[in-house]
Structure 1
């Protein structure tokens, strides 16, 4: 009986430790002293978002997926229009498809995202997505991305951010081939996989904040 009681106590302690650790992980963010500007980016369908509450949780900006290949994100317009009143800066993300023409994708983005003086630089998310198995040769991909970037920058009037996933960077070295600010991705530990220092870092993809039902991606900007 003593052994059973001790085992139960050990399991209870382990469970409590695990719960405490998970709570810490889902509420962690990099230091404000090191990174004064911090914010979120959300998936294409984030559900109902209380933007004023998110602002109160310490977010300075929010990036929204506007387009995925040639498809428009259905929640983008309403959230884009709601952000200024909450005090949050707003930015738009394009989820780049390796299976669709660059010009068609740029046209989709430019017709979805209005040119706005208060907007943050647009971002291109470049990753190996499950809905596309194409792997173009490096020269072709770089040429296509340059075409996309030129069209989007002509529309927005600002240089784009390259959100390049580690597997893509390892194969294509896009951060070395495209001279644009890098938005790197790595949970908890500052990433160094790009050819040059990142401008923005997605530091967590499991953070919980009031105002959003699901976990959010939490980002910081290099000072």
Structure 2
């Protein structure tokens, strides 16, 4: 009987622990829905948006404190964001500065990716420095791509894009891409790092842009926003 009683208590404690963990997770989720970095520490804040975010109310964006926007433009060699032009024009209409984002694919040739980007993004000195999203790894490429090959092709892509835009790009660098290819130390460009709620430090050097909350709920968009902060 004593063993059965002890077993029941262990089950109860286990159930309680699960309930507490679920409650803690729910509380964290609720907190992050509305969390933004301190304006005192990071006074300039913005968003990254694309077609996946649905229709954007840019007047509402301005009202909730968006200072600038990065707009998804292209990915790999063929993909183009269907809302790029609408988002670019919408942000500018309310007086925001805007930049374009390309999602880089290490499996595809640099020159073809650059051609895709320059077809979508106009040569316009008013644009913020373009951003290159580095998140996809080369492990699943049809042919073997070495680390040296990734760095070489990326350098080619950056040179071609910068020739088009007239400005150095900013590297939107994920933790997994940095861990695999150590781009932050190999490529001398400003960094855009990603880590919800906690200030990122995985690049080993200072960052310029930070995706501080990847799921901020607002009235300005149909879906949660990717919220950005600028390092002073």
Query: What do residues 22-49 of structure 1 show as CA deviations (whole Å, max 9, x unaligned)?
Result: 3331111111111111001124432111
Of the candidates 28, 34, 42, which is equivalent to residue 35 of structure 1? Answer: 42
> What is the Cα deviation at residue 87 of structure 1?
1.9
The question of 1:202 aligning with 2:211 is answered: yes
For the Cα contact (< 8 Å) 1:35–1:221, is it kept in 2? yes
For the Cα contact (< 8 Å) 1:49–1:211, is it kept in 2? yes
Report the Cα distance in structure 1 between the residues aligned to 2:140 and 2:23, rounded to whole angstroms: 43
Question: How large is the Cα RMSD of the aligned pairs?
Answer: 2.2
Residue in structure 1 matched with residue 3 of structure 2 by the alignment: none
TM-score normalised by structure 2 residue count: 0.84
Structure 1's 100 and 18: CA in aligned 2 closer, same or farther, altered over 3 A? closer
Q: Which runs of structure 2 are paired with 1:122-161 in the superposition (5 Å)?
A: 122-128=130-136, 133-134=140-141, 136-161=145-170
Structure with greater Cα Rg: 2
Gap runs ≥5 in structure 2:
1-20
Report the Cα distance in structure 1 between the residues aligned to 2:229 and 2:24, rounded to whole angstroms: 28
Query: How many pairs were matched up?
Result: 210
Structure 1's 136 and 43: CA in aligned 2 closer, same or farther, altered over 3 A? farther
The question of 1:77 aligning with 2:85 is answered: yes
TM-score normalised by structure 1 residue count: 0.87
For the Cα contact (< 8 Å) 2:171–2:190, is it kept in 1? yes
Structure 1's 172 and 17: CA in aligned 2 closer, same or farther, altered over 3 A? closer
> What is the Cα deviation at residue 193 of structure 1?
0.6
For the Cα contact (< 8 Å) 1:44–1:66, is it kept in 2? no
Query: What do residues 13-69 of structure 1 show as CA deviations (whole Å, max 9, x unaligned)?
Result: x99987665333111111111111100112443211111101111110111110011
Gap runs ≥5 in structure 1:
1-13
Q: Which runs of structure 2 are paired with 1:81-120 in the superposition (5 Å)?
A: 81-120=89-128
Structure 1's 82 and 129: CA in aligned 2 closer, same or farther, altered over 3 A? farther
